[in-house]
Amino acid sequence: MTGQFHYEKDADNIVTITMDMSGPVNAMNDEYLELMGATTTRLDKERNDIAGVVLTSAKKTFFAGGDIKNMLKAVPGQDEEGLFQMCEDIKAMLATLEKLGKPVVAAINGAALGGGYEICLACHHRVALNSPLVQVGLPEVGLGLLPGGGGIVRLVNKLGVEKAIMPLLEGTRFNAQKAHAAGLIEELADSPDEMIAKAKAWIKANPEASNPWNEKGYKIPGGDLKNPKIAQMIQGAIPMLMQKTRGLVPAPARILDVVANTLRVDFDTAMRIESRGLAALVTTPQAKNLMTFFLQMNQVNGGGSRPKGIEKTAVKKVGVLGAGMMGQGIAYVSAKAGIEVVLKDISQEAADKGKAYTEKLLDKAMAKGRMTEEKKAGILGLIKATDKAEDLKGCDLIIEAVFENVDLKHQITKELEPQLAENGVWGSNTSTLPITLLAEPSQKPENFIGIHFFSPVDKMPLVEIIVGEKTSDETLARAFDYAQQIKKTPIVVNDSRGFFTSRVFATYIDEGAQLLEEGVSPVLIENLGKAIGMPVGPLAVQDEVSQQLTVKANETNRELDERLGQKFGSDNAGYRMAKKMIDEFGRGGRAHGGGYYDYPEGGEKTLWPEVAKMFAKDDVNVANDDIKDRLLFRQIVESLRCFEEGVMNNVADSNIGSIMGIGFPPHTGGVFQFINTYGLKEFVDRCNALSEKYGERFTPPQLLLDKAKNNELFA
User: How confident is the model over 85-131, as pLDDT tens digits?
Assistant: 999 999 999 999 999 999 999 999 999 999 999 999 999 999 999 99
What's 15's domain CATH number?
A: 3.90.226.10
Structure confidence by residue, pLDDT tens digits, 441-464: 999 999 999 999 999 999 999 999
Q: Is the model's pLDDT at 1 over the cut of 60?
A: no
Please indicate, yes or no, whether residues 201 and 331 belong to a single structural domain of this protein. no
For residue 569, name the pLDDT band (cuts at 50, 70, 90): low
Is 239 contained in some domain?
Answer: yes
Is 531 contained in some domain?
Answer: no
What is the C-alpha to C-alpha distance for residues 418 and 420, in angstroms, rounded to an integer? 5
For the ranges 293-297, 551-555, 689-693, which has the lowest average pLDDT? 551-555
Q: Is the model's pLDDT at 605 over the cut of 80?
A: yes
Please indicate, yes or no, whether residues 52 and 133 belong to a single structural domain of this protein. yes
Please indicate, yes or no, whether residues 158 and 219 belong to a single structural domain of this protein. yes
Mean pLDDT of the chain: 96
Mark which of 283, 307, 327 sits at the end of a domain.
283
What values do phi and psi take at 379, rounded to 5?
-70, -45
Q: What is the pLDDT of residue 556?
A: 87
Please indicate, yes or no, whether residues 78 and 187 belong to a single structural domain of this protein. yes
Sheet arrangement for strand 112-113: 112-113, 135-137, 173-175
Is 223 contained in some domain?
Answer: yes
Q: What is the pLDDT of residue 16?
A: 98
Please indicate, yes or no, whether residues 73 and 218 belong to a single structural domain of this protein. yes
For residue 570, name the pLDDT band (cuts at 50, 70, 90): low
Is 166 contained in some domain?
Answer: yes
For residue 557, name the pLDDT band (cuts at 50, 70, 90): confident
Q: Which domain holds residue 399?
A: 317-494
What is the C-alpha to C-alpha distance for residues 467 and 447, in angstroms, rounded to an integer? 10
Please indicate, yes or no, whether residues 335 and 245 belong to a single structural domain of this protein. no
Note whether 343 and 383 are within 8 A (CB): yes
Is 80 contained in some domain?
Answer: yes
pTM of the predicted model as reported, rounded to 2 decimal places: 0.95
Angle between helices 624-644 and 651-662 (to 10 degrees): 130
Across the strands, what pairs with 20?
4
For residue 563, name the pLDDT band (cuts at 50, 70, 90): confident
Q: Taking residues 668-689, what's their average pLDDT? A: 98
Note whether 173 and 136 are within 8 A (CB): yes
One-letter amino acid identity for 476? L
Q: Is the model's pLDDT at 558 over the cut of 90?
A: no
Catalytic annotation on 452?
A: yes
In total, how many domains does the chain have?
Answer: 2
- From the centroid of its chain, how far is CA 311? 27
Q: Which of 410, 452, 592, 667 is catalytic?
A: 452
Mark which of 265, 283, 301 sits at the end of a domain.
283
Structure confidence by residue, pLDDT tens digits, 357-376: 999 999 999 999 999 999 99
Is 599 contained in some domain?
Answer: no
Note whether 151 and 117 are within 8 A (CB): yes
Q: Taking residues 430-442, what's their average pLDDT? A: 96
Q: What is the pLDDT of residue 564?
A: 86
Note whether 412 and 403 are within 8 A (CB): no
Is 396 contained in some domain?
Answer: yes
Q: Taking residues 646-651, what's their average pLDDT? A: 96
| Cβ-count burial 5-44 (b if 16+ within 10 Å, e if not) | beeeeeeeebbbbbbbbeeebbbbbebbeebbeebbeebe
Closest CA to 396 of 448, 329, 319, 337: 319
What is the C-alpha to C-alpha distance for residues 379 and 383, in angstroms, rounded to an integer? 7
Looking only at the bridges linking them, the beta strands covering 597-598 and 489-494 are unpaired
Q: What is the pLDDT of residue 140?
A: 98
Is 691 contained in some domain?
Answer: no
Mark which of 232, 261, 283 sits at the end of a domain.
283
Q: What is the pLDDT of residue 5?
A: 97
Q: What is the dihedral of CA 18, 21, 27, 31, to 10 degrees?
A: -120
Note whether 649 and 656 are within 8 A (CB): no
Please indicate, yes or no, whether residues 267 and 335 belong to a single structural domain of this protein. no
Number of other CB atoms surrounding residue 221 within 10 Å:
16
Please indicate, yes or no, whether residues 262 and 324 belong to a single structural domain of this protein. no
Q: Taking residues 406-413, what's their average pLDDT? A: 97
Q: Taking residues 326-355, what's their average pLDDT? A: 98
Please indicate, yes or no, whether residues 215 and 273 belong to a single structural domain of this protein. yes
Please indicate, yes or no, whether residues 353 and 218 belong to a single structural domain of this protein. no
Note whether 499 and 468 are within 8 A (CB): no
Q: Is the model's pLDDT at 561 over the cut of 90?
A: no
What's 415's domain CATH number?
A: 3.40.50.720
Please indicate, yes or no, whether residues 378 and 450 belong to a single structural domain of this protein. yes
Please indicate, yes or no, whether residues 73 and 141 belong to a single structural domain of this protein. yes
Handedness of CA 328, 333, 336, 339 (dihedral sign): negative
